[in-house]
Amino acid sequence: MELKRTAYLKKLIEKKGNGRVKIITGLRRCGKSYLLFELYRRYLLENGVGEDQFIALSLEEIKNAKYRNPFELDKYIRSRITESDKQYFVMIDEIQYVSEIKNPYLDDPEAKINFTDVLLGLMKNKNVDIYITGSNSKMLSSDILTQFRDRGDEIRVYPASFAEFCEIYDGDMRNAWLDYYTYGGMPYMLTLPTHEEKSKYLRDLFERTYLKDVVERNNVQNDSLILEDLVNILASAIGSLTNPTKLSNTFASEKNIKINANTISKYIGYFEDAFLINKAERYDVKGKKYMQTPQKYYFTDVGLRNARLGFRQQEETHIMENVLYCDLIRRGFNVDVGVVEQNEVTGEGKKVRKQLEIDFVVNRGGKRYYIQSALSVSDQSKRAQETASLIKIPDSFAKIIVTGDYIKPWRDENGILYMGIEQFLLDENAIDF
């Protein structure tokens, strides 16, 4: 079975011929190249584009090493554009392999030529449509995106969503959620039949690809073991509020390692740049402002997170929250962690200020949703705990509790919608139920 990647394919189709560079970003091995060179190319062929209209290169392959020189790359592409009335589709995989070289026509040693010069020059040809991917230890896709600024369109690709996972799931659908929150949605992993094969692939991918990339790209030679410890701590603490100072204290108390908060923050940034983790900012709903600290961190793929921890920490509560966060981001929402402050009077008559957490404050356009992730709300006390913050929100935007229970959607007397995790993930319109 093949992942159709329908949503991403639709975005590429919509941006076809728009005069901008289409930049496909995302975690390594999440399917960027397959989307472009297989799925999108197949679509174009089925809709009348001829083979001679494709100018496709994978710069990772040694046979194309010559075109890592920007002048040779430009020369090759232009040599393939032979007819002015024909549309050409330039597709370059691993664009970061193009070297930055000195401009031989200028005396200034700082004057450089790189792949951006090549592509921005090609954009001036109205019959050229350009698509690129890129991610490795030398230059990740996020860097590529910034170099094009307002002249590029990003298509962010994620590992398979639960809905995509279910489309190709070969097994009893009652086990689909269990398998997904255990192994995640990395495309190649989905083809592996056993736990041993899945876990080995995910562990090796983390160790030999992601960590190696981060170390090499950022020249973190002496602190590579600290990077490994840091990512382990973040993996153990998904869904928990933390900050670099707190993490620095953890290193000091648990590992007897002194590392300052600024260094911790920098290292976390490396993981974010690699699309391995995502940071959710904290938002004060009543005060309508962002709070500088603490934040929450979520892994782009829960399978990678679980494999990193040897599948030892399988708390469905936190994993479910991680999956929800990633799915909301994938759908194009802006997602923050919410807090509602309220005054309470203690038994001694003292007034205290208390903060109530909202798992997600979700925004897109003029719409907002407040979402709580709860493994179960089967008893009254648990339901009261999960609804406490939602009831205190001083506006009328939709309030949703997504639960691990298999239930029919229903609303309580406060208008709060309750829905099972599987329905929420399988139906993107369920959020407006």
Which CATH number characterizes residue 42's domain?
A: 3.40.50.300
Q: Is residue 336 part of a domain?
A: no
Please give the distance of CA 35 from its chain centroid, rounded to a whole number: 16
Dihedral over alpha carbons 89, 91, 95, 98 (to 10 degrees): -60
313, part of any domain: no
- The answer to the question of residue 238 being in a domain is no
In this model, does residue 135 exceed pLDDT 70?
no
On whether the CB atoms of residues 113 and 71 are closer than 8 A, the answer is yes
pLDDT value at 143 more than 70: no
Helix 244-254 and helix 224-236: axis angle, to 10°? 110
How do beta strands 398-403 and 417-420 pair?
parallel
Whether residue 350 is contained in a domain is answered as no
Give the chain's mean pLDDT: 92
Q: Is the pLDDT at 36 greater than 60, yes or no? A: yes
Lowest mean pLDDT among 2-16, 86-100, 135-149: 135-149
What is the tens place of the pLDDT at every residue in 37-69? 999 999 999 999 999 999 999 998 999 999 999
Structural domain that includes position 60: 6-157
pLDDT the model gives residue 433 = 80
Task: Supply the pLDDT for residue 80.
Answer: 97
Q: Tell me what the mean pLDDT of segment 68-91 comes to.
A: 97
Looking at the predicted structure, is the pLDDT value of residue 137 above 50? no
- Out of 27-31, 199-203, 257-261, 291-295, the most confident range is 199-203
Cβ atoms of 378 and 407 within 8 Å: the answer is: no
Segment 117-139 mean pLDDT: 84
In a domain, 61, yes or no: yes
- Identify the band that residue 342 occupies on the pLDDT scale cut at 50, 70 and 90: confident
Please indicate, yes or no, if residue 360 is contained in any of the structural domains: no
Structural domain includes residue 92 = yes
The answer to whether position 64 is within a domain reads yes
Q: Does the CA dihedral 78-80-81-83 come out positive or negative?
A: positive
Count: domains in the chain: 1
